[in-house]
Amino acid sequence: MLDALGVEHSEHLFGGNAILDGGTPLPDATLAACREADGILLGAVGLPELEGKPVRPEQGLLALRKELGVYANLRPAVAEGIDMLIVRELTGGLYFGAKGTRADGTWFDTCEYTRAEIERIARRAFEIARSRGGRATSVDKVNVLHTSRLWRDVVTEIGAADYPDVPLDHALVDSFAMTIVHQPETIDVVLTENTFGDILSDVAAAVTGGLGLAGSASLGDEAPGLFEPVHGSAPQIAGQGIANPAGMLRSTALLLRHGLGRTEDADALERSIDAALAESPTPDLGGTATTRDLGDAVLRALERSPTL
Ligand code: IPM
Ligand code: MN
């Protein structure tokens, strides 16, 4: 696909393969290559045989996000009548706070946020909401969590000071999960912290066609961005050639759009993916197309596209 799109690219070991090869999920050479690139297209991580082991593929993903400073994770969930965009904070909160085991045997993870971390993700979400003429809903757990009180204060302040034209409301994460399920068409831009965004983006993907379809862009203030599907490595169907490549291809469209500045080509690829999904659905969508069939259908649709 990258060849067809004329994107110069190279491949590097990461995650499970990198652990099996050299014992570490994010080898120095891979990180160096990522820093040199205009964008990084990342295959889903996870390897069942390494689950719960001291060194895991997921640690490589978290390290890469942190190293690149890609704090803004955009997860679009689009379907008939639904057009929501989850803006998930990606380099703070529970994922990166203090964690460990105390002498008394208690294990702990800590949710930590600074004002600056909240401010920059809030600005990103407001900018996006403004550019699409939309609204922002900030999701927190202010009735329980200390960090949510800071979250809500900072988001409210930034909105009032610099984005008074962008309508803002606040929601609690538990009831908002229900809103995603029951009234997804009422939602526009969702601004939320790392863990809530992880969970809500799976829910949003589920109501808009399933995890196989969802792509994401992780952006910092400078290139390169990281582009990856929302789904995991789906070990239960590995090697059968039936995985839906749409999440990966939509991530590729996001790479064209945000990483390479090729907006029209991104539009063309997204249209081609939609056309191919309608023509050759994979088993997760009730069809019989293989991964290759769907890829070929996307390529055929791209060839017919006037802009490429
Ligand atoms: C995601 C994934 C990752 C996360 C895992 C693989 C570390 O679930 O991108 O949503 O929790 O962020
Ligand atoms: Mn997730």
Over residues 253-269, mean pLDDT: 95
Over residues 91-116, mean pLDDT: 98
pLDDT digits (tens, 9 = 90+) for 159-173: 999 999 999 999 999
Q: Whose CA is nearest to atom 5 of ligand 1?
A: 58
Q: How far is CA 12 from CA 33, 65, 175, 252, in A?
A: 8, 16, 41, 17
pLDDT digits (tens, 9 = 90+) for 5-63: 999 999 999 999 999 999 999 999 999 999 999 999 999 988 899 999 999 999 999 99
pLDDT value, residue 210: 86
The DSSP secondary-structure symbol of 237 reads G
Is a pLDDT exceeding 80 seen at residue 306? no
The DSSP secondary-structure symbol of 186 reads G
Is a pLDDT exceeding 90 seen at residue 107? yes
The one catalytic residue in 141, 163, 265, 284 is: 141
Helices 263-279 and 291-304 cross at an angle (nearest 10°) of 130
Grouping H, G, I as helix, E, B as strand and the rest as coil, residue 41 is strand
| Ligand index nearest the alpha carbon of residue 43 | 1
Which residues are close to ligand 2, an ion, with C-beta < 5 A?
Answer: 198
pTM: 0.94
* Secondary structure string (H, E, C) spanning 239-287: CCCCCCCHHHHHHHHHHHHHHCCCHHHHHHHHHHHHHHHHHCCCHHHCC
pLDDT value, residue 308: 67
Q: How far is the CA of 50 from the centre of ligand 2 (A)?
A: 18
Is a pLDDT exceeding 80 seen at residue 307? no
Closest ligand 1 atom to residue 73 Cα is 9
Q: Does residue 198 line the site of ligand 1, with CB under 6 A?
A: yes
Q: How far is the CA of 95 from the centre of ligand 1 (A)?
A: 10
Q: Does residue 45 line the site of ligand 1, with CB under 6 A?
A: yes
Q: Does residue 64 line the site of ligand 1, with CB under 6 A?
A: no
Percentage with pLDDT > 90 across the chain: 93
